[in-house]
Amino acid sequence: MKHIKLFLAVVGLTLCFTAGAQSQDAMRLNEYLVVNTDDFQDDFGQQNAWIELFNSSYGTVDIAGCFLSDDPDNLKKYAIPGGDLQTKVKPRQHVLFWADNQPYRGTFHVSFDLANAKEIIFTKGDGKTIIDRIPVRHDLGENIAFGRVEDGIGSVDGSEEGWAVMDRTSPSTNNSLIDKAAKPDRMKAIDPYGWILALTAMSVVFLALILLYFIFKAIGNANIRAGKKRSAASVGTEVEQSAYGEVPGEVYAAIATAMHLYQEDDEGHDEESFVVTLHHTDRTYSPWSSKIYTLRQTPAVNKRR
């Protein structure tokens, strides 16, 4: 029982730790638009400033309880409400907040706008830990967004590293087009003959197997030492013998042969009865395979007296 409790506690702590570690910290401010006159409309048909968040992790993140703010002195300006399934952001997906200062319109309408905002701050559920912040630019012009060049990549300290003026707005979608062939193409451009990948990947394969080698070498040695101790303890004296693991196979073969011969000499083997018994063999019967059922009944001749 004690062990079960301990196990559950460890699992619980691990889950809490990993859940916390992989959750809200992975969220990024990804793009924003300050002056929206001819861009995306909200569900009320209105055009307002918006802020896009991106889940950079490969797990779903619940942002309920986190805060958005435009004021470093008041990080809890807008608390993202709980109880809304849409606050669970799927892996590598986006979520859009309308900065229209009309929070009564729903979960995704925050209680400030960007007209006079100096920066946008996304804060963890504790209300203290800033996950991401970005200064607000007011010189971009109408319908021009500012965002990360690649989703989720770049600074989180407000230094705008990895951020740029967007060629086009991309609310709730990727900031740069994802070209599936781009990665292999880039790889081929960097490494046209394949040597870099070969060396890197082989190093990793060797590294993985070398680590396994060291671990199992150590475990093996520990096992041999433990075996020696056990055998010494069982005899009661120090046993002089080669390492437990170094007993050649021939020794085992010799022991087995000796035991076999001993049994034979000692007539340990059962005597054969020399009686041959013939058993009747039953064939498995099934009406499905029986020919009888496929034949017509033999016609009987009724003789009239």
Partner 1 sequence: MGHILENLKAFWQFTGFANFEWGYLIMIVIGCAFIFMAIKYEWEPMLLVPIGFGILIGNIPLFAGLNVGVYEEGSVLNILYQGVQRGFYPPLIFLGIGAMTDFSSLIANPKLLLIGAAAQFGIFGAYAISLALGFDAAQAGAIGIIGGADGPTAIFLSSRLAPTLMGAIAVSAYSYMALVPVIQPPIMRLLTTKKERLIRMKPPRPVSPTEKKLFPIIGFLLTAFIVPSGIPLLGMLFFGNLLKESGVTKRLANTASGPLVDIVTILIGVTVGASTQASQFLRWESVKIFIIGALSFVIATFAGVLFVKFFNLFLKEGNKINPLIGNSGVSAVPDAARVSNNVGLEYDPKNYLLMHAMGPNVAGVIGSAVAAGMLLGFLG
Site residues, partner 1 (CB under 8 A): 181, 183-185, 187-188, 191-195, 197-198, 200-202, 204-213, 215-217, 219-220, 223-224, 227, 243-250
Work out how close the CB of 243 gets to partner 1 at its nearest, in angstroms, rounded to a whole number. 8
d(CA 226, CA 86): 57
Q: Which two tokens stand for residue 90?
A: 């799927």
Q: What SS3 class is residue 130?
A: strand
Per DSSP, what are the bridge partners of residue 135?
A: 119
Q: Which is nearer to partner 1, 181 or 295 (CB)?
A: 181
Short-list 32, 24, 60, CA closest to 175: 32
d(CA 180, CA 10): 40
Work out how close the CB of 82 gets to partner 1 at its nearest, in angstroms, rounded to a whole number. 31
Work out how close the CB of 180 gets to partner 1 at its nearest, in angstroms, rounded to a whole number. 9
Phi/psi of residue 11, nearest 5 degrees: -60, -45
Q: Which is nearer to partner 1, 252 or 262 (CB)?
A: 252
Work out how close the CB of 138 gets to partner 1 at its nearest, in angstroms, rounded to a whole number. 41
d(CA 153, CA 173): 15
Short-list 109, 107, 111, 131, CA closest to 121: 131
Q: Which is nearer to partner 1, 181 or 235 (CB)?
A: 181
- 175 Cβ neighbours under 8 A, 6+ residues apart: 30, 31, 147, 148, 149, 150, 151, 166
Q: Which is nearer to partner 1, 15 or 211 (CB)?
A: 211
d(CA 24, CA 61): 6
Q: Which is nearer to partner 1, 184 or 287 (CB)?
A: 184
Give the 3-state DSSP-derived string for 174-221, with helices as H, strands as E and coil as C. CCCCCCCCHHHHHHHHHCCCCHHHHHHHHHHHHHHHHHHHHHHHHHHH
| 145 contacts 158 by C-beta, under 8 angstroms | no
Work out how close the CB of 150 gets to partner 1 at its nearest, in angstroms, rounded to a whole number. 17
Work out how close the CB of 41 gets to partner 1 at its nearest, in angstroms, rounded to a whole number. 37
Q: Which is nearer to partner 1, 211 or 258 (CB)?
A: 211
Q: Which is nearer to partner 1, 165 or 204 (CB)?
A: 204
Work out how close the CB of 83 gets to partner 1 at its nearest, in angstroms, rounded to a whole number. 34
